Structure 1
Amino acid sequence: MMKYLLLACAGLAAHLTQAQTENWAVSLISPAMTLNADAVLRLDELNYTVRSPTDAVLRVRQVITILNEKADGKAQLVVPYDKFSKVTDIEGAIFDASGKQVKRLKQAEITDLAYAQDNYADDSRYKVAQFSRQLAYPYTVEFRYEVSSRNLMFYPTWQPQDDERLSVIHSRFIVDVPAMMPLRYKEANLTRTLTKQASTEVKDGFAYAWQVDTLPAIEQEPLAPMLAERVPTVYTAPNQFTVQDYIGSCATWKDVGDFYYVLNKGRDALPDAVRRQVQELVAGEKTVAGKVQKIYDQLQKQARYISIQLGIGGWQTIEASRVAQTHYGDCKALTNYTKAMLGVVGIPAYEALVKAGESAPDIRTDLPGFQFNHVFLCVPNNRDTLWLECTSQLSPVGYLGNFTGNRHVLLITPEGGKLVRTPAYTPDNNRQRRSATVVLTPEGAATVHVQSVYTGLQQEPYIDVIHGLTHDQQRDWLIKSTNLPSFELTGFGFAETKATIPAITETITLSTRRWASPSGSRLFLPLNLLSATSLAPVLTKPRQSPVVLKYTYDFEDTDTIRYTLPDGFAPEYALAPLSLDTKFGTYQARADVQGNQLIYTRRLRMHRGRYPAEAYADYADFRKKVARADKAQLVLIKKEVAAVAPK
């Protein structure tokens, strides 16, 4: 007992000595480190020690100065854990602007919460530490915590500057591993090389260390690459690991797939009654595509999605027989269930692991590991591979959209993992085709009928509108999203076409008192009130980052608006056709008169790409020219006035 008491006293004395020598006064921060910053990371120490394939500990210490209310979230600590990990220690302190410690974190200020919520079953939990008393700005918080883990499928990522509005004074990352478990890592945006030496934490092991100093906050720029592409980052991954008696390796993508395959092998058995139903369902279908369609339709009618993350169940599916009984499951379970039904009729299919999400980056293909957050299904069909999003009751066969499209996925085969890429959607897939008729009065009022067909990515915002809103809510949504002067929506409707490239047709009729503006004997007619483009943001400083037009920039918008002019009115002058052709996209617009009909046509085609920083000026100029053209007005004048107008 005396031995442990002496050790505890020694540890406390070390903390007290360190606290006495450290000074967290805000005045010590260089002005350059507060420029564009909401918070300053004064000290950041992350130590990850791997003792064996089943045992690791993470120790973290952070000192952060909060400059304003925008960074209050950084004064709160959130530490996740689950049945394979344990939070063994959390400490904290808060300091005023002078660097004086005002108080230490109390146990009552640490709460323990569950992730579980509606449609979500998860045994993961998290501890939240937050001071009950907030100081005047600026103030400083310090947190220390320790987490032990028995699941080494995942190693930590070091990215001290995780926010553009955060500056970093000092950060250090140390990983200790046994000699028989060499560290696998990937560096990005580092100016200093790592150091590697004998470990003092692990017997016969090695310590890898990285350090960065003086990282100012980053100027926020439009169309910039993701933050991870611009700040120092180190990704780490295991070589070998063991979790709940399952042994795995991340040395290659084949190995990653092998582990997932073994983890879920034998969980696709279906009850005999379900097998008979599947066979009857596809009876008479001659093609693979036809059989897949019927089975997928059946899945969407019967099953619903519930996220299940229980223990190793976060990666191991529940059995297909249970899904058949309960009619629900998570992405793994519904994918496995669909695969099992296809197997009944002899159609092979493979789970596809993916990092899903509209803004999610692609996985790091040169660092195999568990970088995924979702599973869906791949059905080979000669050269026409079919992709099935088994968690959706709305997606058509073959369509991935921006959730899982245009990225690498890992197919799980009996021979191991195979890395492939999902389809990308082009401007020809992502279209808005708009046709409108506008009948004008001499006073500038109009009755309008518009039909818009949206395909691919452009139809996605309308899915929730059609299936998630009532008729009255849809009407309110249309009124809010239609950018016109005061108008009355007199009718609307939606029609959905399910296909590999799905489409939604929107039809609206409306009346407005001010489509054109009268002035004496003239009417000033804006030609494009429905699809006007905005200006690109103006830069106030020289641009630093590349210009990235993301996946959603692959689109084509075409508009054809037929105006019926008021009796006695004609254009005072012709509008010259405009055509722009740049590396970012193309634009054409023209207005033609045929009797009392004025036909306005417009076509904007954009495509994604990555360009150097200096290209932003050209991009902004293109957007400016398009925006100016979209604001073009045609002056209409009464014919009798035009006849006597001076030459």
Structure 2
Amino acid sequence: MKKLFLIAIFCSLTIFQSWADDGKKYPTKDISAELRKDADAVVRFDDAVFTIVNKGSGKFTNHFMVTILNSNGEHWSEQVLSYDKLRPIKAFKGTVYDSTGNVVRKLKSSEIKDYKATQDISLYDDNRVKVATLTHHTFPYTVEFEYEYEYVGLVSYPGWSGLSGYKTSVENSSYTVVFPQDMNIRYKEFNLAVPVKKEIINGKNNYTWSASNLKSIKREPYSVPIFEQGPGILCVPIDFSYEGYDGKMDSWQSFGDWIYKINKDRDKLPDNVKAKVHELTDAAKDPIEKAQILYDYLQKNTRYISVQLGIGGLQTFDANYVATRGYGDCKALSNYMKSLLQEAGVTAHAALIYGGYEPSTIYQDFVNNPFNHVVLAIPTEKETVWLECTSQYNSFNYMGEFTGNRQALLFTPEGGKLVKTPEYNAADNSLIRSAKVKFDLSGTVAATVDAKYKCTRQDDLSDWTNMVSQGRVEKHLYETINIPSLRIKSFNYKAEKGSKPVINEHLELEFSNYINISGKRIFIQPNLLNRMTSGPEKIEKRRSDMLFHFGSTDEDKIVYEIPAGYTLESKPNDVVLKTAFGEFSSSVKLENNELIYTRKFVRNAGRFSAEKYNELFEFLTAISKADKSKVVLVGTAN
């Protein structure tokens, strides 16, 4: 059970237990001291049941109680349930209890608010949410919620995580899957202390997973997802049906085959668009040149709108729909681009992928559906070219942090095939910055800064410079440049398109109160723009592994023009660090009245064991210390 129940395809489900009467129920005093320790809330019970009626329908029920110990746990008092026509809510109840277990009040149907799931005008869907909130004026108090969903069409089954969140302990949690004896399911288990219990009840298979007395855990820096830190399972069908489309999920090939078939024969273009394709590409020399021309055409003539209407969440609108309207979702725009390429004689395949800055784990040996996005792949003799078809400014053959360095599922006439999207390493994801700094003895400073942001380092900046006003970009600069009394005289950006795109930044800055002048001495913190202001938290016994999805490189060179008559009195020692997590170096020198500061920080991608946390702590703490170091100049005049 989760506070936010917003996933349309894979969620968790529960059994309805008898509703509470007005007697005492789960008083706070019954919670053990070990479960209270470091907890903001305690899940008293969380009973979820997913009942599979047949391969195309099911029911989910969830019944849980949570004792909220303080204001930090009060998010449990709100329950948000998303729904649509294929997943309607059949029941929704709630009760709040005081610390002794007495009923304070029950949720009234008039208190359940119903909203469109998003207020974004570009979103075209039938998703809605019901929201209920039960609070009490005195801590601790307990909330109880119970709800039921009906599933009309099944592509995926809910999973289960015994842990309900950080700083939340669990007395009891269980998840049961009920299904006909003539059906089979597949599941993958994680960190189980208690094996699955298999029973036949009323002629149905009942598989139950459970966990008890799970202590509160604290979020740790750079940790793996909480799902991996406690007991849990993934559960999927072998045979399924969704709005009359039958499919199999016994292999990636078969699942991709189903996706391909429900999206087949939706590539017919109107005659005027076909003519435009030939006008643009007939003189092109090779498939890549044709693809570049047509990608530019796509970006200039379409825009993104999300569509989540029933099977429309999985099945594309046809190419003619996009051609005549000028918009579509990720599936429709990818299909439209595929159709343009096909007309030009270029083969391409759409691919399911998880879009997000923390890639979802794909298991080669366990087929499931963690995908939420569609991109396009163009196989060539030298490489596979990847296109993000929802962006009006993305570079050709660039995936970035949102879809790069992860597995995608191509769906082709031969079925599904797992493939890897482009990987961007630490050298690719670079920020190279240089600055020239002049100052006078009043402490007034002028700086010219040039920076080159590459690959994933330019992703956010690309969004900023393409989607918001110059005024908002300027405000963002003021918010992110940590220099006192700053005035930004000018700024500009220039993009270099490519498979490893670059954005060049130029800043003209003025500021004061940064360089401290006292008597005949000048005090300078030479790292002007890229300081690690604090190290990570000290943890005596780290629990979870550390995960860094993307590596990166930062290089800075800051040159200060020193007034005549000053020499170097003291400077920090040069720093050189090398660990499994990366490398760092910094140095300061005075040459010909120029104080030259250089810094390089390479952060490695990868998963690292919890036992290595002290090494990371010492590494980052040393960097933070080096970044804060100061230089002292002294005047030589009498």
TM range (shorter): over 0.9
Distance 1:535 1:216 in 2: 29
Aligned to 1:374: 373
- The answer to whether structure 1 residue 633 and structure 2 residue 635 are counterparts is no
Shift, 1:360, TM fit = 4.1
Structure 1 residue 298 displacement after superposition: 0.6
Indicate the residue corresponding to 1:90 in structure 2.
92
- The corresponding residue for 1:197 is 199
Match of 1:164 among 155, 163, 166: 166
- C-alpha distance in structure 2 between counterparts of 1:370 and 1:613, whole Å: 29
In structure 2, what is the equivalent of residue 107 of structure 1?
Answer: 109
Paired position in structure 1 for 2:5: none
**Shift in CA distance, 523/127, structure 1 to aligned 2, threshold 3 Å:** closer
CA distance in 2, matches of 1:308, 1:469: 24
2:437 corresponds to? 438
Question: CA offsets, 1:20-74, max 9 Å, x none?
Answer: 8873111111122122222211011111111211221112211111222333332
Greater shift in the superposed pair: 287-296 or 594-603: 594-603
Q: Deviation per CA, 1:240-282: give whole Å up to 9, x if none.
A: 0112221111111111111111101111111111111011111
SS of residue in 2 equivalent to 1:458: helix
Unaligned runs of 5+ in 1: 1-13, 642-647
Aligned match of 1:300: 299
Q: Distance in 2 between matches of 1:589 and 1:148?
A: 60
SS of aligned partner of 2:62: strand
Task: Provide TM-score, normalisation by structure 2.
Answer: 0.93
Structure 1 residues 85 and 442: CA distance shift in structure 2, 3 A: closer
| Distance across 2 between alignment mates of 1:562 and 1:128 | 56
Query: Aligned-pair distance for 1:447?
Result: 1.7
Moved more, 435-444 or 397-406: 435-444
1:185 is matched with 187
User: Is the 1:434–1:453 contact (alpha carbons within 8 Å) kept by the matching residues of 2?
Assistant: yes
Query: Could you tell me how far apart the structure 2 residues matched to 1:116 and 1:370 are?
Result: 23
Pick the aligned partner of 1:70 from 65, 69, 72. 72
Q: For the residues of structure 1 that align with 2:195 and 2:356, how far apart are their CA atoms?
A: 33
Residue equivalent to 2:45:
43
Identity of paired residues, percent? Answer: 35
Contact 1:349 1:377 in 2 (8 A): yes
Match of residue 120, structure 1, among 115, 120, 123:
123
Q: Give SS of 2:528's match.
A: coil
Shift of 1:162: 2.8
Deviation, 1:116, is 5.2
Hey, what does 1:328 align to over in structure 2? 327
Residue correspondence of structure 1 range 219-298 to structure 2 within 5 A: 219-298=218-297
Deviations along 1:137-177, one digit per CA (max 9) or x if unpaired, are 21112222222222111211111423112211011111111
**Amino acid paired to 2:127:** S
**Pairing partner for 2:599 from 593, 598, 602:** 602
Q: Residues 128-143 of structure 1 correspond to what in structure 2 (within 5 A)?
A: 128-131=131-134, 134-143=136-145
- Report matched runs for 1:163-562 at 5 Å: 163-200=165-202, 203=203, 205-539=204-538, 541-548=540-547, 550-552=548-550, 554-562=551-559
CA distance in 2, matches of 1:157, 1:42: 20
Amino acid at match of 2:96: I
Q: CA offsets per residue over residues 213-232 of structure 1, 9 Å max, x none?
A: 00111022212211111021
The alpha carbon displacement at 1:573 in A equals 4.6
d(CA) in 2 for partners of 1:590, 1:390:
44
In terms of mean alpha carbon deviation, does 313-322 or 478-487 score higher?
Answer: 478-487
8 Å Cα contact 2:294-2:340 kept in structure 1 = yes
The answer on 1:153 being equivalent to 2:150 is no
Deviates more, 1:332-341 or 1:380-389: 380-389
Letter of the structure 2 residue corresponding to residue 403 of structure 1? F
Q: C-alpha deviations, 1:387-416, integer Å up to 9, x for none?
A: 110011111111111111111110011010
Of stretches 525-534 and 317-326 in structure 1, the one that deviates more from structure 2 is 525-534
- Residue 577 of structure 1 and its aligned partner are, at CA, apart by 2.9
Name whichever of 75-84 and 478-487 sits farther off.
75-84
Letter in 2 for 1:602: R
Structure 1 residue 487 displacement after superposition: 2.7
Q: CA deviation at 1:126?
A: 3.3
Q: CA-to-partner distance for each residue in 1:101-157, whole Å, 9 max, x for gaps? A: 2223222223333325311111233333334x6342211122222222221112111
Is the deviation greater in 141-150 or in 498-507? 141-150
* Partner SS, residue 88 of structure 2: strand
Which range moves more in the overlay, 430-439 or 592-601?
Answer: 592-601
Shift of 1:541: 4.0
Cα deviations by residue, 1:184-210 (Å, 9 ceiling, x for unpaired)? 11111211111112232xx3x421111
1:559 corresponds to which letter in structure 2?
D
Q: Distance in 2 between matches of 1:366 and 1:522?
A: 66
Q: Which amino acid aligns with 1:74?
A: W
Residue 116 of structure 1 contacts residue 122 of structure 1 at CA under 8 Å; is this kept in 2?
no
Q: CA deviation at 1:588?
A: 1.8
Asked if the contact 2:82/2:117 (under 8 Å) is kept, the reply is: no
Shift in CA distance, 516/62, structure 1 to aligned 2, threshold 3 Å: same
Unpaired runs of at least 5, structure 2: 1-16
The alignment yields a C-alpha RMSD, in angstroms, of: 1.9
Secondary structure of 1:601's aligned partner: strand
1-side partners of 2:533 and 2:197: how far apart?
Answer: 49
CA distance in 2, matches of 1:146, 1:576: 65
User: Partners in 1 of 2:133 and 2:524 — Cα distance?
Assistant: 58
1:129 counterpart letter in structure 2: A
The secondary structure found in structure 1 opposite 2:416 is strand
Distance 1:260 1:511 in 2: 57
Which deviates more from structure 2 when the two are superposed, residues 601-610 or residues 585-594?
Answer: 585-594
Return the alpha-carbon distance in structure 2 between the equivalents of residues 28 and 92 of structure 1.
Answer: 21
Task: Indicate if the aligned counterparts of 1:308 and 1:330 stay in contact, CA closer than 8 A.
Answer: yes
Give distance in 1, aligned partners of 2:231 and 2:607.
20
* d(CA) in 1 for partners of 2:128, 2:478: 42
Q: CA deviation at 1:441?
A: 2.1
Rounded to whole Å, the distance in 2 between the matches of 1:430 and 1:300 is 25
Q: Work out the CA distance in 2 between the residues paired with 1:86 and 1:461.
A: 37
Task: Verify the 8 A CA contact 1:116 1:123 in the aligned structure 2.
Answer: no
**What SS is found at the alignment partner of 1:508?**
strand
Instruction: Give the Cα separation in 1 of the matches to 2:84 and 2:474.
Output: 45
Distance 1:545 1:168 in 2: 19
CA contact (8 A) 1:64 1:141 kept: yes
Query: In 1, Cα distance between the equivalents of 2:164 and 2:520?
Result: 60
Q: Does 1:563 align with 2:554?
A: no
**C-alpha contact 2:536 2:621 (8 A) present in aligned 1:** no
TM-aligned CA deviation for residue 575 of structure 1: 5.3
Instruction: Using the TM superposition, give the Cα deviation of residue 421 of structure 1 relative to its aligned residue in structure 2, in angstroms.
Output: 1.4
SS across alignment from 1:190: coil
How does the TM-score come out when normalised to structure 1? 0.92
Amino acid at match of 1:280: E
Q: Is the contact made by 1:561 and 1:599 (CA closer than 8 Å) also made in structure 2?
A: yes
Instruction: Report if aligned partners of 1:358, 1:403 keep a CA contact under 8 Å in 2.
Output: yes
Mapped partners of 1:136, 1:157: distance in 2? 34
Q: Provide the C-alpha distance between the structure 2 equivalents of 1:397 and 1:182, rounded to a whole number of angstroms.
A: 44
Is 1:534–1:623's contact at 8 Å kept on the other side of the alignment?
A: no
Alpha-carbon distance in structure 2 between the residues aligned to 1:224 and 1:333: 36
* 2:14 match: none
Letter in 2 for 1:572: E
Tell me which of 570, 574, 577 is aligned to 1:580: 577
Rounded to whole Å, the distance in 1 between the matches of 2:260 and 2:426 is: 37
The secondary structure found in structure 1 opposite 2:155 is coil
Q: Is the 8 A contact 2:533 2:628 kept in 1?
A: no
Q: Note the C-alpha offset of 1:466.
A: 1.2
In the other structure, the counterpart of 1:11 is: none
From the two aligned structures, give the one with the greater helix fraction. Answer: 1
Give the secondary structure class of the aligned counterpart of 1:486: coil
What amino acid does structure 1 have at the position aligned with 2:178? D
**C-alpha distance 575-197 of structure 1, shift in aligned 2 (>3 A):** closer
268-277 or 81-90, larger mean C-alpha shift:
81-90
Question: Cα distance 1:517–1:248, how it changes in 2: closer, same or farther (>3 A)?
Answer: same
